[in-house]
Structure 1
Amino acid sequence: MKTILHMQDVVHRYRDGDEARTVLSGLSLQVGAGELVAVMGPSGSGKSTFLSIAGALLTPGSGVVTIDGTPLSGLDTRALADLRLSKIGFIFQSANLIPYLKVDEQLRLVSKLSHADAAGAARRSDMLLERLGIRSRRRQYPDRLSGGERQRVAIARAWMNDPPLLLADEPTASLDEERGAEVVRMLAEGARTDGKAAVMVTHDSRVLELCDRVLKLQDGVLAPA
């Protein structure tokens, strides 16, 4: 199984006045293609910091982070932005859709930012929306969609550039049990079918049985839950 996300001995501290607070203290993780890993932990345990570092949004104080064979150390701001666009799909708890763009426009914007062929982007958008069961909603604005439909759009948008790594931050937080399970099932099936690595930060114990591994972030490190 090819390793997509590799984190080794990652340490990160925040300054609080004259004191430094250690959030991650030697965290290590490997996630392979086709795998969905859930990360749990109490509030303040460092889950947001972990996800920001895994997503190349935050540079750790020390340690190694590699995404799909590319080490993040030494990359400048532009190179990190390009890597996020091409290699990482983000899914947030509130979907974070752009309110003035229709569903298919949300997806095509991702391709436009990566300078992809417009005709190819339109075909991929249609394919993803069909696969997720919302192609009939492609000309709707976000405020006309249900919570579950908005999260499906967020998943489709994350898949649009076919990134090898998917990162989801509490994707079921605003959904009922049925819709939450549906969203996580889509993540799991997408990872396995398309050979992607997926990491989901969650408090939702209802969906853990759908994951390949469940880890707990505590005292700055990850361990089996």
Structure 2
Amino acid sequence: MEPTGIGEAEPSRRLLTPHDHVLLLVDHQSTMGAAVGSQPVERLAEATTGLARTAALFGIPAIITSALPLGSGGELVRGLREAFPDTERWIERTALNPWQDDPVRRRIERSGKPKVVAAGVWTEVGVLMPALCAVESGYDAYAITDASGGANPETHDRAVQRMVQAGVQPMTWLQYLLELQRDWTRSDTATAAGDIIRDHAGACGLAAEDLARLLDR
């Protein structure tokens, strides 16, 4: 059967595209990550790397913040540094709520995008606070929950629950990638998207291998 590609049906406006949002990555740092108790730190780093590589592939405007001075126990996750080596994207801040840090908020506003996607450490602070503020400021807000970590499972889960009740839409990094790719016949990103899945999505990488073989026929 021949692939058909994307048809003419109008997609939901809730689906993300590479052109409608800015990505806020909050405090994915070694010292902060060491205090995460909601999931293994290795799993958090893997999800963060997959998310960062996805955003770089699709040209998403990314804002990267740090709560601790970089280079003094506050190194960013390596996969994040490699995906976004441009230090102009990095913002050191003191406000617990990134939305109340003027440089962060101004970059979001200057992007002109109607949607904000957030992930970070800790879920109950660095993700929850700006997500709620984004909703009240008229943005559609999304939270990448597996690329976020809380002090323990309870605090992470309650933060996600509170965000959902406020209208923030939760998703995973793999869901984010597939939503941006949308169709494997989009050849400019399909191969690289498959590589990211193979490298960071565990058993889902097997499906990516099968798809790659089909597309090569």
Q: TM-score, normalised by structure 1?
A: 0.32
Greater RCO, 1 or 2 (C-alpha within 8 Å, sep 6+): 1
More strand by share: 1
More helix by share: 2
Q: TM-score, normalised by structure 2?
A: 0.33
